[in-house]
Structure 1
Amino acid sequence: MNYPLMLAALTVPLASLALADESATTLAPVVVTATRTPEPESQTLASVTVIDRAEIERRQARSVPDLLRGIPGVAIAQSGGAGHPASIFLRGTNADHVLVLIDGVKVGSATLGTAPLQNLPIEQIDRIEVVRGPRSSLYGSEAIGGVIQIFTKQGGGPLTARASIGGGTLGTGSVSAGVSGGGDQGWFNLGANLDRTDGINACDGSPSPFAGCGVTQPDRDGYRNVGVNLRAGYAFSDAAKLDVHLLRSENRSDFDGSLFSGNISRAEQQVVGASATLKPLKPWTVILAAGYSWDKHRSFYEDVALSLDDFFVDSFNTERETYSLQNDVAILPGQIATLGVDYLNDRVDGTVDYNEDSRDNLGVFGEYQGRFGAADLKLSLRQDDNQQFGAHVTGNAALGYLFGNGIQLSLSYGTAFKGPTFNELYYPGFGNPDLDPEQSHSLELGLGGNLPLGAQASGRWGISLYQTEIDDMIAFDAPTFAAANIASARIQGIEASGSARILDLELAANLTLLNPENRSDGANEGNLLPRRPEQTFRFDLDRQFQRWSAGATLFVAGRRFDDLANRTRLDGYTLVDLRAEYAITPALRLQARLENVFDEEYETAYLFNQPGRAAYLTLRYAFEPGLE
């Protein structure tokens, strides 16, 4: 198979949020996802959350959904424990209204319309940027709620080696290893991991085929993940850089199912990409990128009582090729103009016979960023010409003003769209080839700044108010037994966040208040959209004690409903996690985590269980020259 190379317009070396020693200052992270160009997080006018490798290890997160839980505007519904499908709702929009990128490459299933974030190996991730709000004017389809971009480990500098081994409750075990380096001009990283767990009973079962898993299989549903990451690059000069990357994961997940749906899934995700960054002239940067992503899912059925061993049920396969040309021109100091072209080709195959099994999309976009004293202006416009649903134009405008006291006020407006999936267009007995893209327009007001904590402390705060209206939403039309553009929604929300570092103490808090209102005509008008809690709150507290560190996370989620009619209520819940770490030597650390301390029973999807109290230990080793 030919693996073209892909979009790494966004794979330039990034500064990460690193906590320096006591005599140094904290460096602000640089983000690229919000504008497709590097900029300090404090200067972007978008609502952005950055999670770097230090925070991933400090929180001892075991999966991407676990890591994203409690971020402002993020709600998660998972159908079982580790490795089971996780839906990410960003600012109350649908799970398929979130664009997911890995090192700049668009990933996910073109049949389902979502990306399997639960299967991404967290040990291979260096940082995550979550941009909330519409971004179709830069990325095209799907970015109604926002964009989640995952960056893999890059390497660079002296040769280093790392390894970890861990285990815990539910027969959980993990092992990972990696090596990185490259010197001053090059960079490379090679890493691999294996994770497994016996899991929990994913579903309580129900006699109804339309509730939960529709069957009763009171067994433990295990999960296994194998991941590999390779990334390398070289800066030939200040005017020429090359970067290549590969991420692959293979997964097996048991679930409660039947002979018709299967009860074992085997999934594979792979992303291959490369980019060349050139500077023909000092103010002009050209980024050429290409890549390939592959999402494969197969279902099997195993029944020991009937002596059926891995009986094949069905398969779905998505292949995506993407090419990109981006030009960034520094017009004047503080002013950047961007002009680019993206090309995407989707192909699907498997056991389902679609009337059409491929489509392409050509997107042309432009962006202007200007700083005029205390004022910032960002404008972007894009046209996508899709083979199946024609042309679509989206835009975004943002204006910010920095007051003398350090408080920044911003106002933004953006439009976005999402093209129908192959299932919505062509799935036998359900698809409708006449569907139009879903459309949205959003308005946001933001306010934020630094906390006045004195010379021995630092902190930031922010608050955002937003409203998103979505038209032509695709839903099941009972009279025609097919998908149709019959739904609409209005989502209003408030997000507030704050963080502070006071000597060896770190505190962070996030609050989201959400009103995801169904505006469709009929009996469900005015109801809440399913599986989105109306309130979420997270509070983190961490303290350093020389070789010791300890922390805790409090997460609170309000009620939600599992159905459009709002008859099936899922109660709110409160989770407390504890963590500790001891540095045996500067290179060797022992970590411990206690999840769900009070053994809270809760559901984020009706009849699907979530893990109870669990404990984990991890031993991490990292060798660097001079580290003793």
Structure 2
Amino acid sequence: MKKYLLSLFLFFIFCPFSNAADNRLPNVVVTATRTAQTVNESLASVTVITRKDIERSQAFTLPDILRTVPGLDISVSGGLGKNASVYMRGTESSHVLVLLDGVKMGSATVGRVAFQHLPLSHVERIEVVRGPRSSLYGSEAIGGVIQIFTRKGKKGGHTDASVGAGEDNTYQFTAGVSGATKANWFSLQTDLLRTDGFNHCQGSTSGGCFTIEPDDDGYDNTSLSIRYGQRIARDLSIEGHAMRAKSHSQYDSSLSNEEDSIQQVFGLKTDYVLSDRWLVNLSAGRSYDETNNSGNNMSETFFNTERTVGSFVNNFFLAKNKTFTLGYDYQKDDVESSTVYVKESTPINSIDNQGLFVEYQTQLGNTQWIVGLRKDDNEQFSKHTTGNVAFGYALSPSTRFVTSYGTAFKAPAFNELYFPNYGNPNLDPEESESIEVGLTGKQSFYHWAINAYRTKIDKLIATNFDKTTNTYFADNLNAAKIKGMDISLNWHRGGWEFNSNVSWLKPKDNTTGNLLPRRAKTTVNVELAEKRGPARLSLNFLAQSHRYDDAANTQRLGGYGILNANFEQNLNKHWKFRIHLENLLDKEYYTAAFYNTQKRFWFVSLHYQY
């Protein structure tokens, strides 16, 4: 199968198609280097999800649309609003750095982001950068970076609204207003999503939720975002943004079985052009991750994280195609919890980190180079240095060879350091080194990419057992080697679209030789769509091989394939009608043992734009 697919891609590279013009503008990304460049210029493996992509997917949440990105695997524990883990290139879910308009998100206690609570109606664009980026961002960017950009006002005025209903008494209402002039821009969006859901856990006293509660587990999410910017002078602009998502989720558990959550981000940034060769970016922000668990007559528990960040970045344009970046990052995590965290008999509720980084980009003829270095100074584990180097060579005007090497790290989370009777304050950061080789090509109406990579992760944090005290504790026990390959092909011509990607993965635990849990070895995504007049119809097929739910590889979850369909009809220039059909064949499958996934699902919606 691998040889057949490689032959197919080589055919697309060299076959003599006609040179029909491609009028689509190239996407500009900033996440890969913290400077603006097109996707074609980037030496990183980048996927850009535009607002149009989001609307056509008819997805509700971030994990819904990320599952179609090459190199990403999503594991869900139930339906809407239930826990979702995003594994990028086989690394842990906590090894993915998530930014919202440049502000770092995540829970300091568990060390990862609640992807399931982030609504897509507020999103203008998503940039997914695969591969290590600690040399630019510090902790967490072992697998890569996902940056979410909220809606931004465009020239003139714009109003939009939608209402929809579907299976499981699912309802959604969205509304927004935005606009821009030469001097300022603004956007205001709101979203209300509600569902009765389904029984998210099969019910067992030996695994999963460790209880039997055969009821529907509902979910609701109310969110609001605002973004306002102003060009104060020709060389100076300032922008503020805020997003808040408040949700309530029911789940099955022998302990608490209801969760109230708040995901909230505030930010302020400014761009100042000091000269033709010097651009300054200054930003500050704060993100909140708050959870409150209750129900089953249990005492309420809460874990609230407040993350304060600031950045000062200088870009020096030394000459044509030569850029030097010098930057400073600050981060402080504060924790307020019903659990008391203690370090050496003294309560502790905060950790700060400072990072200094440099990067140099240059282009010489057909070659392109990027070199970066960063040093982080963490209050808990002192200093840590990471770096990266990337090289690109244009084999032809449409084909390029790229290779890169990078190191990264993940700082231990609060729970791993200080949770009572488990935390270990002597933990070291998890460390990684990765190498990648790839080929990319862009023809008149299609583009393709082949990327192979290998990642080695040391000092992985796992649970250890002390026979002397008969207790479990966190320790730097494990190591992993991950090998993989991503192949993607996207073809657009006339009213037809064909988007596809295939990912092969071997995430191996060095200690046991087993596969890392909840990651499929093979993933195939295929979309075929046709736009005819005012109507568009698309079919989406997702297939994954088997995976294991446990580190011992004794609990096997079978492979599966699901078929989805989307239909869109423009009623006139202001109104659209959409139908979303998920899991058309009513396939029963699992990405986490004991946890049900969505069966056949339908949703219809009416959309207004002016």
Smaller-chain TM-score bracket: over 0.9
Q: Distance in 1 between matches of 2:445 and 2:465?
A: 56
> 2:330 aligns to what?
343
> Which position in structure 2 is the counterpart of 1:282?
276
Question: Could you state the TM-score of these two structures normalised by the residue count of structure 1?
Answer: 0.92
Matches of 2:139 and 2:181, distance apart in 1: 39
Residue pairs, 1:17-32, within 5 angstroms: 25-32=23-30
* Aligned equivalents of 1:386, 1:24: Cα separation in 2: 48
Equivalent position amino acid for 2:266 in 1: V
Q: Counterparts of 1:23 and 1:237 in 2: how far apart (Å)?
A: 38
Separation in 2 of the partners of 1:270 and 1:71? 25
Q: Does 1:189 align with 2:181?
A: no
Aligned to 2:3: none
Structure 1 position 587 matched with structure 2 position 574? yes
The structure 1 segments of at least 4 consecutive aligned residues displaced by more than 2 Å after TM superposition are: none
User: 1:38 maps to what in 2?
Assistant: 36
Contact 2:558 2:589 in 1 (8 A): yes
2:596 is equivalent to residue 602 of structure 1: no
Deviations 1:280-328 (A, max 9, x none): 11110001110110110000114xxxxx5xx542000000101110000
RMSD: 1.1
Distance 1:406 1:502 in 2: 18
Q: Is the 8 A contact 1:156 1:184 kept in 2?
A: no
Among 228, 238, 242, the residue aligned to 1:242: 238
Q: Deviations over 1:209-261 (max 9, x none)?
A: xx211111010000000000000001123310001000000000000013xx3
Find 2:499's aligned residue among 503, 508, 527.
508
* 2:285 aligned to which of 291, 305, 316: 291
Name which of 472, 483, 489 aligns with 2:480: 489
After TM superposition, give the deviation of residue 59 of structure 1 in Å. 1.2
SS where residue 168 of structure 2 aligns?
coil
List runs of 5+ in structure 1 lacking aligned partners.
1-21, 303-307, 452-456, 624-628
Asked if 1:152 is matched to 2:150, the reply is yes
Partner of 1:473: 460
Shift of 1:205: 1.7
**Which residue among 520, 533, 545 is the counterpart of 1:558?**
545
SS of 1:56's equivalent in the other structure is helix
Provide the rounded CA distance (Å) in 2 between the counterparts of 1:56 and 1:121: 11
Deviation at residue 405 of structure 1 after TM alignment: 4.7
Query: Contact 1:174–1:193 at 8 Å: present in 2 too?
Result: yes
Partner of 1:252: 248
Helix, strand or coil at the partner of 1:278? strand
In the other structure, the counterpart of 2:7 is none
Residue 157 (structure 1) shift = 1.1
Alignment of 1:201-220 (within 5 A): 201-208=199-206, 211-220=207-216
CA deviation string 1:190-224 (max 9, x = no partner): 0111000000101012112xx21111101000000
| Contact preservation (8 Å) 1:550, 1:579 | yes
- Spell out, residue by residue over 1:378-428, the C-alpha distance to the aligned partner (whole angstroms, 9 max, x if none): 011000000001100000000000122521001100000000000000000
Matches within 5 A, 1:304-315: 312-315=299-302
For the 8 Å contact 2:356–2:374, the answer to whether it is kept is yes
Given that 2:22 and 2:445 are in contact with CA atoms closer than 8 Å, whether structure 1 keeps it comes out as no
Q: How does 1:99-498 map to 2 (within 5 A)?
A: 99-208=97-206, 211-258=207-254, 261-302=255-296, 312-355=299-342, 356-451=348-443, 458-479=445-466, 481-498=472-489
2:560 partner amino acid: Y
DSSP 3-state at the match of 2:551 = coil
1:531-559 Cα deviation digits (max 9, x unpaired)? 00000000011111101110010000110
* SS of aligned partner of 1:403: strand
- Local SS of the residue matching 2:202: coil
Once the two structures are TM-superposed, the CA of residue 24 in structure 1 deviates from its matched residue by 7.1
1:15 is aligned to none
Question: In the TM superposition, what whole-angstrom CA distance separates every residue of 1:440-493 from its partner, at most 9, and x where no partner exists?
Answer: 000000101113xxxxx6010000000000000000002351000010000000
- Report the Cα distance in structure 2 between the residues aligned to 1:243 and 1:154, rounded to whole angstroms: 11
Distance in 2 (alpha carbons) for counterparts of 1:24 and 1:332: 31
Is residue 514 of structure 2 the alignment partner of residue 527 of structure 1? yes
For residue 272 of structure 1, what is the amino acid of its counterpart?
F
Deviations 1:581-607 (A, max 9, x none): 110011100000110000000110000
Q: 1:296 to 1:321 in 2, by over 3 A?
A: same
- Equivalenced residues, count: 582
SS in 2 for 1:54: helix
C-alpha separation in 2, matches of 1:397 and 1:471:
20
Q: Which residue of 1 aligns with 2:604?
A: 617
Deviation at 1:373, TM superposition (A): 1.2
Amino acid at match of 2:385: V
Q: What amino acid is the match of 2:372? A: S
Partners of 2:99 and 2:370 in 1: CA distance: 22
Q: Indicate whether 1:546 and 2:533 are aligned.
A: yes
352-361 or 404-413: which moved more? 404-413
Q: Helix, strand or coil: the match of 2:196?
A: strand
Deviation at 1:121, TM superposition (A): 1.3
Please give the per-residue CA displacement for 1:319-372, whole angstroms capped at 9, x wherever unaligned.
010111000010000010000000000000110100121010000000001011
Gaps spanning 5+ residues in structure 2: where? 1-19, 343-347
Residue 478 of structure 1 aligns to a residue in which SS? strand
- Residue 59 of structure 1 corresponds to 57
Whether the 8 Å CA contact 1:90–1:132 is kept in 2: the answer is yes
Q: Deviations over 1:136-182 (max 9, x none)?
A: 00000000000011000011311111000001000000001010012
Distance 2:505 2:265 in 1: 34
Instruction: Name the amino acid aligned to 1:484.
Output: D
Contact 2:21 2:445 in 1 (8 A): no
Q: Distance in 2 between matches of 1:380 and 1:232?
A: 32
Deviation (angstroms), 1:184 = 2.1
Provide the rounded CA distance (Å) in 1 between the counterparts of 2:260 and 2:186: 30
Is the Cα contact below 8 Å between 1:602 and 1:609 reproduced in 2?
yes
2:202 and 2:214 in contact (8 A); partners too: yes
Measure the CA separation in 2 of the matches of 1:23 and 1:282.
34
C-alpha distance in structure 1 between counterparts of 2:562 and 2:478, whole Å: 34
**Alignment-derived partner of residue 9 in structure 1:** none
8 Å Cα contact 1:70/1:536 also seen in 2 = no
Amino acid at match of 2:549: D
Contact 2:422 2:472 in 1 (8 A): yes
Q: Find the residue that maps to 1:82 and give its secondary structure.
A: coil
Secondary structure of the 1:43 match is: coil
Contact 1:156 1:186 in 2 (8 A): no
Whole-Å separation in 2 of the counterparts to 1:338 and 1:245: 25
* Cα distance in 2 for residues equivalent to 1:59 and 1:433: 44
Q: Read off the aligned partner of 1:84 and give its amino acid letter.
A: K
Q: Determine helix, strand or coil for the equivalent of 1:499.
A: strand
CA contact (8 A) 1:135 1:144 kept: yes
